[in-house]
Amino acid sequence: MATDQLLLKEFNKLPASLQQEVLDFVGYLSSKYKTKRSVPKRKAGSMKGLVSYISDDFNAPLEDFKDYM
């Protein structure tokens, strides 16, 4: 038996109050799924120009980690 048919069969066995609870839960899951999918994709290069200054010694080793190097 197909999953959708099995779900419908089990759903129809429930009393009306529980059927409404199932529908509410399905609505919750649908909205949760839509929220995750609606996050826009990040575009490469969108932060370009944000950092206007980096010190000359940016890549120099830090004194705090001298003992570990």
* C-alpha torsion 61→63→66→68, nearest 10: -80
- Domain extents in the chain: 1-35
Q: What is the pLDDT of residues 18-30, one digit of tens each?
A: 999 999 999 998 8
Residue 31 has pLDDT above 90, yes or no: no
How far is 34 from 66, CA to CA, in rounded Å?
49
| Residues contacting residue 43 through CB under 8 Å, at least 6 positions apart | none
What is the SS3 assignment for the chain? CCHHHHHHHHHHHCCHHHHHHHHHHHHHHHHHHHHHHCCCCCCCCCCCCCCCCCCCCCCCCCHHHHHHC
Q: What is the pLDDT of residues 36-59, one digit of tens each?
A: 556 678 888 888 888 888 889 999
